[in-house]
């Protein structure tokens, strides 16, 4: 929560006046609010705090920071809610890792 | 492709350690503010690489740890209320209140859910119109934009059954409180890089000038931390007290202006009580009046709360940098991440949890097994 987690923007969409993106963090993809990152584009990297992007970072910085966070065991926030979503809101897309790509958390 | 080149980093780190040693003529005490930095320092043994006389003390930068006991108890009272879905970041579930924690309440039937993002809680409110959905809005400046966006969105979309229990805290007033405390030993700061990525560092310039204390805005990777320590020591040795930005690849002086505007639109600055520290003037956020209908403190009338803190836990002294986890008689014995007495053992960003995870102050045969880590 103190440290943002860098991820790659895979898709960008507008919804009710806000900008959202699908952002890939290692093997997991999450929806992230991009409203405070003007001109956020697919292929760019952003630093994300609890589903909210606060800065752009470059690819090398993103990869370094992600690896360090992984070593520090500080990536739990990305998946803390996953078991619960299965209980409260079953979603076929959220059923687990796929052979073809990263696990999707809608 | 592996981007962290261990050999190159090791060489850079060794060079920085040498430069620090060459700069030092007398002892200095530095505080790293951010819990993530503490974790990295303990994980990589940065403090043990430093020349004798350079001491790092760990700051209060763990939002889960400093959320006041009254607020935790209020959260528990709300979570137990009828027709409530209580949502929170996962870290908060095991934080002990006076009586129990949120996980215990859930096992007794309370609808307590972990969310990744505050906006997820707004969606839960939309999906459950017959329930009151409360989000536990804690954190430093890093989570404030996300929390602000959730409240603003709920108001704009008319999601009347969404409210937030706000317990936001701010870094610069806490640094001022540490410097003003009797017996303060801190002479320089490693500033919190990711907080400054949001807020910029103009407030830190005022602090550096007022208290004549060097502040180096620093990242969290090992080389960043050594670089930040070197810059701070160099300033101290030269008698300077400036703000320097070590973390230029992520932080700019004004931070993210859009995010700051969003935070100011939704929140106002108030006095805030910190667990283990006490009330610090103008050190937190609450929702502005125009968002009162989404303020859980207004929505739920919680009766006066009598708190009860563990008598063994010294987390207050640890959060102020006065003591270290190994100084606590309960550390690693009665207090572990699985049965924490205080919040500094609960959160991954807490100093006690970091010390426990990496087996500090324990004999080799006492060190936690890998599957015991936080």
Contacting A residues, span 77-96, partner chain B, CB-CB under 8 Å: 77-78, 80-81, 84, 88-89
Maximum separation of any 2 CA atoms in chain B, in Å:
66
CB contact under 8 A, A77 and B91: yes
Radius of gyration of chain B (CA): 21
Question: Which of A74-83, B139-148, B228-237, B264-273 shows the lowest per-residue confidence on average (mean pLDDT)?
Answer: A74-83
CB contact under 8 A, A65 and B221: yes
CA atoms within 13 A on the CB side of B218: 31
B27-66 tens-digit pLDDT: 999 999 999 999 999 999 999 999 999 999 999 888 888 9
How many CB atoms are closer than 10 A to CB B174? Answer: 24
Report ipTM (2 d.p.): 0.90
Q: What percent of chain B has pLDDT over 70?
A: 94
Chain A residues with CB-CB distance to B355 below 8 A: none
Query: CA of B312 to nearest chain A CA: how many angstroms apart?
Result: 27
CA distance B163 to B136: 9
Q: What percent of chain B has pLDDT over 90?
A: 76
What residues of B are in contact with residue A54 (Cβ under 8 Å)?
142, 145, 194, 197-198, 256, 259
For B283-321, give the DSSP string. EEEEE-GGGGGGBHHHHS-PPP------SS--HHHHHTT
| Rounded CA separation B103/B110 (Å) | 9
Cβ contact B40:B220 at 8 Å: yes
Q: What is the mean pLDDT of residues B185-210?
A: 97
Q: Which pLDDT belongs to residue A94?
A: 41
> Residue B1: pLDDT above 70?
no
Q: Where are the beta strands (DSSP E) in B98-148?
A: 111-114, 132-139
Six-digit token pair at B347?
């959160």
Range B284-295 average pLDDT: 97
pLDDT of res. B90: 92
pLDDT at position A104 over 50:
no
Quick one: fold of A5-104?
SH3 type barrels. (2.30.30)
Distance of CA B164 to the CA centre of its chain: 19
Q: Residue B342 has what pLDDT?
A: 84
Contacts of B124 in chain A (CB under 8 A): 88
3-state secondary structure of B333: coil
| Cα separations in angstroms, A65 against A11, B116, B223, B359 | 22, 20, 12, 24
Report which of B303, B308, B260 is spatially closest to residue B285, judged by C-alpha positions. Answer: B260
Contact A44, A56 (CB under 8 A): yes
- In the structure encoding, which two tokens stand for residue B359, read together? 């087996």
B338: confidence class by pLDDT, cuts 50, 70, 90: confident
Residues of chain A found within 8 Å of residue B249, distances taken between Cβ atoms: 57-58, 61
Question: Using alpha carbons only, what angle is made at residue B162 by residues B159 and B164, rounded to the nearest 5 degrees?
Answer: 140
Shortest distance, CA B28 to any CA of chain A (angstroms): 26
Q: What is the pLDDT of residues A77-96, one digit of tens each?
A: 898 888 777 666 544 444 44
Nearest of B186, B87, B123, B272 to residue A81 by alpha carbon: B87
- Measured between CA atoms, the residue of chain B closest to residue A63 is B3
Tokens of B336: 């572990």
C-beta atoms of A74 and B36 within 8 A: yes
For the whole model, what pTM was predicted? 0.90
Report pLDDT digits (tens) over A8-50: 999 999 988 899 999 999 989 999 999 999 999 999 999 999 9
Task: Give the distance from residue A43's alpha carbon to the nearest chain B alpha carbon, in angstroms.
Answer: 17
Rounded to an integer, what distance in angstroms lies between the CA atom of residue B187 and that of residue B241?
A: 10
pLDDT at site A98:
43
Q: Is B157 helix (H, G, I), strand (E, B) or coil?
A: helix
Task: Please report the pLDDT score of residue B361 as a whole number.
Answer: 60
* All domains of chain B in start order, with CATH: 25-60+172-245 (3.40.50.11750), 65-170+255-299 (3.40.50.11740), 315-372 (no CATH)
**Residue B128 confidence (pLDDT):** 98
For residues B270-274, average pLDDT: 94
Q: Which segments within chain B are labelled E, that is strand?
A: 28-34, 54-61, 84-88, 111-114, 132-139, 162-169, 188-192, 215-218, 243-245, 267-274, 278-287
Q: How much is the average pLDDT of B250-263?
A: 98
Under the banding of pLDDT at 50, 70 and 90, the label for residue B19 is very high
């Amino acid at each position: 929560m103190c440290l943002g987690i860098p991820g790659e923007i895979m898709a960008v969409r507008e919804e009710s006046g806000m900008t959202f993106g699908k952002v890939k963090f290692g093997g997991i993809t999450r929806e992230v609010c991009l409203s405070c990152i003007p001109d956020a584009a697919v292929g760019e990297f952003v630093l994300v705090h609890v589903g909210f992007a606060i800065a752009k970072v470059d690819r090398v910085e993103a990869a370094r920071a992600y690896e360090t966070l992984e070593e520090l065991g500080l990536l739990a926030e990305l998946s803390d809610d996953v078991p619960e979503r299965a209980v409260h809101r079953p979603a076929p897309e959220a059923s687990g890792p796929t052979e073809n790509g990263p696990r999707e958390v809608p | 492709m592996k981007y962290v080149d261990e050999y190159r980093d090791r060489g850079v780190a060794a060079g920085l350690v040498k430069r620090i040693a060459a700069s030092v003529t007398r002892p200095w005490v530095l505080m790293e503010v951010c819990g993530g930095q503490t974790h990295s320092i303990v994980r990589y043994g940065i403090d043990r690489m430093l020349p004798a006389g350079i001491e790092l003390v760990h700051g209060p930068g763990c939002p889960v740890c400093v959320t006041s006991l009254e607020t935790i108890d209020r959260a528990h009272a709300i979570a137990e209320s009828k027709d409530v879905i209580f949502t929170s970041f996962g870290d908060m579930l095991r934080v002990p209140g006076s009586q129990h924690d949120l996980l215990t309440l859930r096992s007794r039937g309370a609808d307590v859910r972990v969310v990744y993002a505050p906006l997820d809680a707004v969606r839960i409110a939309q999906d459950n119109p017959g329930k009151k959905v409360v989000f536990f809005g804690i954190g430093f400046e890093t989570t404030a934009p996300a929390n602000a966006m959730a409240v603003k969105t709920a108001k704009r979309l008319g999601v009347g059954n969404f409210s937030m229990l706000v317990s936001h805290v701010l870094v610069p007033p806490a640094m001022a409180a540490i410097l003003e405390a009797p017996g303060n030993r801190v002479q320089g700061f490693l500033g919190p890089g990711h907080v400054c990525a949001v807020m910029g560092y103009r407030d830190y310039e005022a602090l550096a000038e007022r208290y004549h204390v060097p502040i180096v805005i620093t990242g969290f990777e090992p080389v960043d931390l050594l670089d930040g320590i070197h810059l701070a020591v160099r300033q101290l040795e030269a008698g300077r007290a400036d703000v320097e930005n070590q973390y230029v690849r992520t932080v700019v002086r004004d931070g993210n202006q859009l995010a700051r505007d969003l935070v100011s639109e939704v929140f106002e600055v108030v006095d805030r009580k910190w667990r283990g520290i006490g009330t610090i003037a103008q050190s937190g956020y609450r929702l502005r009046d125009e968002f009162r209908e989404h303020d859980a403190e207004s929505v739920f009338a919680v009766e006066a709360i009598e708190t009860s803190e563990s008598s063994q836990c010294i987390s207050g002294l640890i959060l102020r940098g006065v003591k270290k986890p190994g100084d606590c008689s309960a550390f690693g014995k009665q207090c572990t991440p699985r049965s924490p007495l205080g919040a500094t053992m609960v959160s991954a960003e807490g100093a006690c949890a970091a010390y426990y995870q990496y087996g500090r102050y324990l004999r080799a045969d006492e060190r936690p097994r890998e599957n015991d880590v936080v």
